[in-house]
Amino acid sequence: MKSASNISGILVLTLFPIVVLLSACSELKTDLPSPTSAGVKVHPTGWLSKTSDDFHGKSIRAQNWEMKPCQVCHGKNYEGGTVGESCTSCHSQPAGPENCVTCHGSTNAAPPRDLDGKTAKTDRGVGAHQIHLLGSSLSADILCSECHVVPPGVSSSGHLDGTPRAEVVFSNTLTNTRTTGVVPSPTYDPAPFKCANTYCHGNFKNGNSNFVPVWNDASGSQMACGTCHGDVTKATLAERALPKTSAQGGTHLNVTTCSACHGDVVDANLRIISPAKHVNGKLSVFGQERDF
């Protein structure tokens, strides 16, 4: 039978480690850092600042615009995911960060801004994008697909490839497949930024098929009557706008009152009154549209 002193010694030996452990836990709790609303720091300080070298746009561009790593934390639709931080609070367009305007464009998918952030019409990546896409007093809008293969998504095949610039392919109706009395054969030379043999700039029956517009010419002179059909060297606007007559190797009547036959497109002062019927691949005569 154990004595009282032995039992007391056993209790002391048994309780001592427990007391030490509780004491240690108490010290650890008091040494813990205070909670912070900032959470775990994953991105560098300048991640959201466009002027910072650490701006996330620059980082993603360096990864060839690969955004899948973002989805790991922010969710497949970038709406919060496991971290509860939505990318769509800033990237509010459809598809969030994968919308076209994230990388190029602003109010629409076309520059300005280009991939380098440039906005001047004289820059190669900007050029005449907007006047084509939005149309003007001379013509209706031109679809992006007239000159480019439009990808259904940012990761679609052929979009983010190894080529240094967007491919100009001329694969749609106005630029390549519309028959206008001339076989379409459009080309684009990326060195001098010139388009050649495109329907919309003179490659049609009685037009100026040798007119080669410069993509980033911001002077506005390439929109003048006589550039696509007619002769810019003539004295009057009516003479400048007159398509090729028989004397010039064409078939157009030698009549300068355009509105007499094309009154639903142009008025007596040679102002285009229906841009949608001008540069649309059709010939409007006496109010009826037909092929050339």
| Dist CA 209 CA 229 (whole Å) | 9
Distance between CA atoms of residues 157 and 23, nearest Å: 63
Measured CA to CA, the distance from residue 115 to residue 243 in angstroms comes to 39
206 has pLDDT over 50: yes
**pLDDT value for 140:** 93
Average pLDDT for the chain:
85
**112: preceding bond cis by omega (within 30 degrees):** yes
The answer to whether residue 17 scores a pLDDT higher than 60 is no
Cut 0.75: pTM above it: yes
Please tell me the predicted confidence (pLDDT) of residue 173. 75
CA 140/CA 282 separation, integer angstroms:
13
Distant-in-sequence, close-in-space partners of 143: CB < 8 Å, separation ≥ 6: 172
User: Residues 111-129: what's their mean pLDDT?
Assistant: 95
- Quick one: pLDDT band at residue 292, thresholds 50, 70, 90? confident
The more confident residue out of 201 and 39 is: 201
The tokens 């039992």 sit on which residue?
7
Position 10 confidence tier, pLDDT thresholds 50, 70, 90: very low
Q: How large is the average pLDDT for residues 220-241?
A: 95
pLDDT number for residue 28: 39
The share of the chain scoring above pLDDT 70, in percent, equals: 85
pLDDT band at 91 (very low <50, low <70, confident <90, very high): very high
- State the pLDDT at residue 261: 96
Q: How high is the pLDDT of residue 171? A: 83
pLDDT tier for residue 40 given thresholds of 50, 70 and 90: low
Single-letter amino acid, residue 223: M
**Weakest-pLDDT range from 9-13, 48-52, 199-203:** 9-13
Give the pLDDT of residue 136: 93
